[in-house]
Amino acid sequence: MAALDTFLNIEPIDCTYAGLQKDSLKGEVAVITGGASNVGLGYARAIAWAGAKVVVADLNAEAGAETERVINAENGPDTALFVKTNVTEESDIKNLARLAIEKFGKVDILINNAMNMRLNGTILDSPISDLDSSFAISGRGVMLAIKEFVPAMIKRGHGVVTYSATQFHYCPPMVGGSIYTAGKAAATSIMMSLANEVKNTGVFVFCLTPAGVARIDFSKMPPMPEGKEKPDFAMFGMPGFHGLIPPESGGAAMVYCILHAETLHGSGIIITDAFEAMNYPYPNPATVRKNESRRLSDMEMTMAFCTMGPGFGK
Ligand SMILES: NC(=O)c1ccc[n+]([C@@H]2O[C@H](COP(=O)([O-])OP(=O)(O)OC[C@H]3O[C@@H](n4cnc5c(N)ncnc54)[C@H](O)[C@@H]3O)[C@@H](O)[C@H]2O)c1
C-alpha cells in the first residue's frame, strides 16, 4: 500500500485483514492519550476504523491536528477530535473531558498510553526530576484520567479502561531504562488495583503491552554482516518475538482486546499473544516464522530479562 500523504508516515488502514468487523465498535467513544504518535496513533486509527469516535489527547499539537485530519479523512468528518493535553495537569484532563462530552456526549473507552520515552535513564545517572516526570505521566496522569472518566462509566455500567504497559517491571542493566520502568510499573499497579475496585460494575480493565511496535524504515538500516539477509521485521535476540510490529497491527490488536475486555479483566496481555488469539499473521503471512517456539508470558518475559546478569559481554 502506498503511504498516505501525511507527515505522520502512515499507510491506509484496513483491519478486515485481522479478522475484525468494520462496525464492531460502532456507538463507542474512545479517549486515547498519547494518540498522536506510533502506538497511540495506531490505536486511534484502528478504533476509528472499527466505527468508534475517537478523542486524541496529546502534548504534540501539530501531530495531534494531523491525526484528527487523517482519521476524519479515512472515516468521515466528526470521527476524531484532537485536544491538546498534558496528562499530568488536572485542568488539562478536565478540559479534555469537557470537550469530549461536548462533541460526542460520553466516553466509553479510556486508553492510557501517553509517555515521554526519553525518561529512560538509569537510577544512578538520572536527575530526580526525570523520576518525578516519569511518575507524573505514568502514575499521576493515569490516575487523573481514571478519576475523570471512570465514574460515568460505572454509572452507565459500561466501559473499558486500558494501559500501554511494558513487560519490564524493573530493569535489567543492559536495557538501562530504570526510570521508565519504575513509572510503568506504578501505572500497571494502579490499573490492576482499579480492576478490583470496579469488579462487577460493567467496566473492564486490562493492560496491553505493545512490545516492539514501531514504524522503521529498513532501507536506512546499517548494512548486514556478510552472508546475512536484511530482515523485513526483526527484533534481534528477543525471545518470543516475531519482530517489530507496525502500529496499524498494534491498533488491530487493541480493537480485538477491547472487544474481549470482559475476558481480559484484571490481567495484562502482550501484543503478540493478542495476535495469536486473533490468529492474525502480521504483517503478512509470508513474514511469519513457522514452528517458532511458544511466546513467553508477561511474567516469564520479565524474569528472563531481569535474571540475565550484568549485561552482554560482562
Ligand atoms: N513502542 C513500543 O513497542 C512500546 C513497548 C512497550 C510499551 N510501550 C508504551 O506504549 C506507549 C506509546 O509508546 P510509543 O512507542 O508510541 O511512544 P511515542 O513517544 O511514539 O508516543 C508517545 C506519545 O505520548 C505523547 N506524550 C508524552 N508526554 C505526554 C503528556 N504529558 N501528555 C500527553 N501526551 C504526552 C507524545 O507527544 C507522543 O505523541 C508508551 O506508554 C510506552 O511506554 C510502547
Interval 40-82: pLDDT, tens: 999 999 999 999 999 999 999 999 999 999 999 999 999 999 9
Distance 194 CA to ligand 1 centre (A): 21
Query: Does the beta carbon of 112 lie inside 6 Å of ligand 1?
Result: no
User: Secondary structure of 216-273 in the HEC alphabet?
Assistant: CCHHHCCCCCCCCCCCCCCCCCCCCCCCCECHHHHHHHHHHHHHCHHHHCCEEEEHHH
Query: Does the beta carbon of 211 lie inside 6 Å of ligand 1?
Result: yes
Q: What is the pLDDT of residue 7?
A: 86
d(CA 19, CA 253): 10
Query: Does the beta carbon of 36 lie inside 6 Å of ligand 1?
Result: yes
Q: What is the pLDDT of residue 241?
A: 43
Q: What is the pLDDT of residue 194?
A: 95
Distance 299 CA to ligand 1 centre (A): 22
- Give the mean pLDDT of the chain: 83
Residue nearest to atom 31 of ligand 1 (CA): 86
221-258 pLDDT, tens digit per residue, is 566 667 665 554 443 333 344 457 888 888 999 999 99
Question: What average pLDDT does range 269-294 have in this prediction?
Answer: 62
Among the ranges given (90-104, 133-147, 272-286), the one the predictor scored with the smallest mean pLDDT: 272-286
Candidates 17, 43, 170, 180; catalytic one: 180
Query: Does the beta carbon of 214 lie inside 6 Å of ligand 1?
Result: yes
Residue nearest to atom 25 of ligand 1 (CA): 34
Look at the domain 15-306 and name its fold: Rossmann fold (3.40.50)
pLDDT grade, residue 295 (50/70/90)? very low
C-beta separation of 151 from 101 below 8 A: no
C-beta separation of 39 from 164 below 8 A: yes
Looking at per-residue pLDDT, the higher value among 127 and 176 belongs to 127
211-222 pLDDT, tens digit per residue, is 778 876 555 556
Distance 227 CA to ligand 1 centre (A): 36
Judged against a pLDDT cut of 90, whether residue 269 lies above it is answered with no
Query: Does the beta carbon of 138 lie inside 6 Å of ligand 1?
Result: no
Query: Does the beta carbon of 181 lie inside 6 Å of ligand 1?
Result: no
User: Is 280 annotated as catalytic?
Assistant: no
Main-chain dihedrals φ then ψ at residue 245, nearest 5 degrees: -110, 125
